[in-house]
Structure 1
Amino acid sequence: MSKEKNKSKFKDNLIARGEEASKVRKIVTVIILAIVLILVIGGISGYMYIKSALQPLDSSSDEEIQVEIPLGSSTSTIANILEENGIIKNGFIFRFYIKLNNESDFQAGEYTFSPSMSIDEITGNLKTGKVMNDPLYKVTIPEGVTIDQIAEIYAEDLPITKEEFLEVVNDKEYIKELIDRFPILSDAILDDNIIAPLEGYLFAATYDFFEEKPNIKSIVETMLNQTQKVVTPYYDQIENEDMSIHEVITFASLVEEEARNEKQRKNIAGVFYNRLEEGMLLQTDPTVAYAVGEHLETTLDKHTEVDSPYNTYQIVGLPIGPISNFSESSLDAVMSPSDVDFLYFLHDSDGNIHYAETNEEHNKNREKYLK
């Protein structure tokens, strides 16, 4: 009996040890899987963070930040300066990136950077010593001007001629290249009836130039980049409105020409939407002036009868393309118009706008304010 008991006890010990070993294996397996999972999640998170850190801090920003890089600054010092000034997201990753890409020979000096700049643009400026603090030329392009007027402004302020500028912006082969590079541009601007392909797309702003004779293509692309930055945040809303970017920019140019402040723009955008919904002609005088090709102090019947895809006295809907550049305020008005019941409006001699819901009310306003 003693031997039987010993055998039974030995067997029980083996079973217990087997169960204990099985539990240990399960625990080890769970721990290993947990570690692997942590490593995978950590790797993905690390990759996403590094990817984010290498992208512009704020691609839509047009803020300009003055930065001084002292003489003898190390890459660590430069990285810390850029991070502290809100130019890059992470100084350590910036240092790792420039070391990995063997970037060096950064120059001391005063720089103007922007959170919208890529790592390559930042390192390129630092490496080439492109100090942007003292532009040779500073040119302001107003809101609501045509591409012809833009050419005149640049010809006055830069060592280029109006003819040189217009030749570049009307070069169809160059325009095709730009369409491939800028999402805001589409084949709609290549229509043979379009007067100027880039009309409306060269954004109103103040531009700094650092070369003795700025390259015209560089000027054009800088302005397109600015338009791209302004329009990009509205992409989803434009898609929901079932309009193309070209139509929205065209619409914004009409609002820009008819109004001078935010409230007016939102109201007029509301009026235009109402007329479009009713199937009415927009009948906005600035489109007539653009079709005629000259400034009109008074829009006469002979002007409104001009046969042109820009003349909203003759065509239903929006004109074939923009009639000027636009402000972000006008773009915002097109995207968020006032909810009004008006179908008509007119300007008096003091710059005020008077609205009407019916043609009868509109005619009374004409008699009252247009004497």
Structure 2
Amino acid sequence: MDNGSKKQEMFAKMQEKKSEVKIVRKIVAITAIVFVLIIGIGGLIGYNYVKGALKPLDPDATKTIAVEVPIGSGLSSISTLLEEKGVIKDARVFKYYAKFKNESQFQAGNYDLTQAMTFDELIESLKTGKVYRKPVFTMTIPEGLTLEQIGQIIEKKTPYTQQEFMDLVTSDTFVQQMMANYPELVTEAVLADNIRYDLEGYLYPATYSYYEEKPSLEAIVEEMVAAMNNVVKNYSDVLAEKQMSVHQLLTFASLLEEEATAQTDRETIASVFYNRINTDMPLQTDPTVLYALGDHKDRVLYEDLEVDNAYNTYKNKGLPPGPIAGAGKTSIEATLNPSDTEYFYFLADKEGVNHFSKTYDEHLQKVEKYLRQAE
């Protein structure tokens, strides 16, 4: 092959390569344009969807929609409830809008809402707790009460006796019904040996409103269990992270609730209990002794500490078999977010102020200073 032919062949190959490069460039350019278009279209669709979800479903709507927000409901559950009831288009959009506005403290109650309400109007309504019905009566269950004490309030405020209440909450049939209705809250753990009452600590302390003169006893109790379920499910991720069961959470929180005084620091008391558990020390908390005795006296005697009962944390290490009272949200959150301390002891003085110590000798000095000298 002469030089001319070689040059022509090389020229042809160069032209072919240039052609291939052009084609590749076109393909890349077209692909990039398509990708950008897809992103743009997707973004536009998403923008239009969110923009539409922010608007009232029907600006001209006049029909009211009854919405009952249970006690203990969080922002996520309320958002889902509003979507399920057809008040809003998208629960996630409402949730993030409320978070953006830094609004999350909503009131439980019965609301008369419409599809014409804006997000701001819905938020304002949920914040103020305006109800569309006036309750026939209300009943307040304070924190730190046992089932027997709750039964006394039931007897005073409703047509049912304390015994009827206790018969219901200790009924195997009713307990099984609660386990079926609230499986993430009432688990097999309540059926363990040595537990005095299966549902002890599972009725949420709060003020409840009733809109009929004689609601069924089952409905009254289930509302309290449902309220506890609504509170506890907000901490499911934290419980999973800490590898703590709901039963352990309510048991621990009940100890904090019973140890609490008007000025107590629950987070620091929680740290004392955790420090003791982690070093295999008994908790030695007096309220468990009183629960073991079935007595509500003001002072625990040395002879009481010897009671042979699974709830006595002077004789048994770790948590008692189950809750000893109903814990409120503050104690539940303190259980999950204890202070980081090296304290192993604490005592409350005559004014209810807690004093914490790292060593037993230091604790004895504070006992002498704040309790014995004060007598």
Report the TM-score when normalising by structure 1: 0.71
**Residue 156 of structure 1 aligns with which residue?**
156
CA–CA separation in structure 1 for the residues paired with 2:109 and 2:188: 36
Q: What does the per-residue CA deviation read over 1:221-276, in whole Å, with 9 as the maximum and x for residues that have no partner?
A: 21112112221221111111121110011000001111235861011001111111
Against the structure 1 CA distance between its residues 158 and 85, is the aligned structure 2 distance closer, same or farther, given a 3 Å change threshold?
farther
**Post-superposition shift, 1:302?**
2.0
**In structure 1, what residue type is equivalent to 2:155?**
A
Q: In the alignment, does 2:285 pair up with 1:284?
A: yes
**Residue 116 of structure 2 aligns with which residue?**
80
CA–CA separation in structure 1 for the residues paired with 2:315 and 2:364: 21
**Post-superposition shift, 1:174?**
1.5
**Residue 345 of structure 1 aligns with which residue?**
346
CA–CA separation in structure 2 for the residues paired with 1:66 and 1:137: 14
**Residue 54 of structure 1 aligns with which residue?**
83
Against the structure 1 CA distance between its residues 166 and 86, is the aligned structure 2 distance closer, same or farther, given a 3 Å change threshold?
same
Contact 1:272 1:282 in 2 (8 A): yes
Against the structure 1 CA distance between its residues 65 and 319, is the aligned structure 2 distance closer, same or farther, given a 3 Å change threshold?
closer
**Residue 63 of structure 1 aligns with which residue?**
107
CA–CA separation in structure 2 for the residues paired with 1:285 and 1:247: 19
CA–CA separation in structure 2 for the residues paired with 1:345 and 1:258: 10
Q: In the alignment, does 2:356 pair up with 1:355?
A: yes
Q: What does the per-residue CA deviation read over 1:30-53, in whole Å, with 9 as the maximum and x for residues that have no partner?
A: 99xx89x969x969x979x79967
Q: In the alignment, does 2:177 pair up with 1:133?
A: no
CA–CA separation in structure 2 for the residues paired with 1:314 and 1:65: 45
Contact 1:291 1:310 in 2 (8 A): yes
Contact 1:132 1:210 in 2 (8 A): no
**In structure 1, what residue type is equivalent to 2:203?**
L
CA–CA separation in structure 2 for the residues paired with 1:62 and 1:180: 28
**In structure 1, what residue type is equivalent to 2:241?**
N
CA–CA separation in structure 2 for the residues paired with 1:220 and 1:245: 19
**Post-superposition shift, 1:193?**
1.7
CA–CA separation in structure 2 for the residues paired with 1:171 and 1:313: 31
Contact 1:275 1:281 in 2 (8 A): yes
CA–CA separation in structure 1 for the residues paired with 2:370 and 2:218: 46
**Post-superposition shift, 1:213?**
1.0
**Post-superposition shift, 1:85?**
3.7
Contact 1:172 1:190 in 2 (8 A): no
SS, match of residue 79 in structure 1: coil
CA–CA separation in structure 2 for the residues paired with 1:152 and 1:66: 27
Contact 1:160 1:213 in 2 (8 A): no
Contact 1:288 1:312 in 2 (8 A): yes
Counting only pairs closer than 5 Å after superposition, residues 317-328 of structure 1 correspond to structure 2 as: 317-328=318-329
**Residue 203 of structure 1 aligns with which residue?**
204
Counting only pairs closer than 5 Å after superposition, residues 248-327 of structure 1 correspond to structure 2 as: 248-260=249-261, 264-327=265-328
Against the structure 1 CA distance between its residues 361 and 138, is the aligned structure 2 distance closer, same or farther, given a 3 Å change threshold?
same
SS, match of residue 122 in structure 2: coil
**Post-superposition shift, 1:299?**
1.1
- TM-align CA RMSD: 3.8
Against the structure 1 CA distance between its residues 157 and 199, is the aligned structure 2 distance closer, same or farther, given a 3 Å change threshold?
same
Which segments of 5 or more consecutive residues in structure 1 lack a partner in the other structure? 1-22, 70-77, 88-112, 116-130
CA–CA separation in structure 2 for the residues paired with 1:132 and 1:170: 35
Contact 2:112 2:132 in 1 (8 A): no
Q: What does the per-residue CA deviation read over 1:284-314, in whole Å, with 9 as the maximum and x for residues that have no partner?
A: 0000000100112221122111111111011
Against the structure 1 CA distance between its residues 67 and 298, is the aligned structure 2 distance closer, same or farther, given a 3 Å change threshold?
closer
Against the structure 1 CA distance between its residues 362 and 307, is the aligned structure 2 distance closer, same or farther, given a 3 Å change threshold?
same
**Post-superposition shift, 1:283?**
0.2
**Residue 128 of structure 1 aligns with which residue?**
none
CA–CA separation in structure 2 for the residues paired with 1:62 and 1:201: 23
Range moving further from structure 2, 328-337 or 228-237:
228-237
SS, match of residue 221 in structure 1: helix
Identity among equivalent pairs (%): 39
**Residue 60 of structure 2 aligns with which residue?**
none
**Residue 175 of structure 2 aligns with which residue?**
175
Contact 1:65 1:85 in 2 (8 A): no
**In structure 2, what residue type is equivalent to 1:149?**
Q
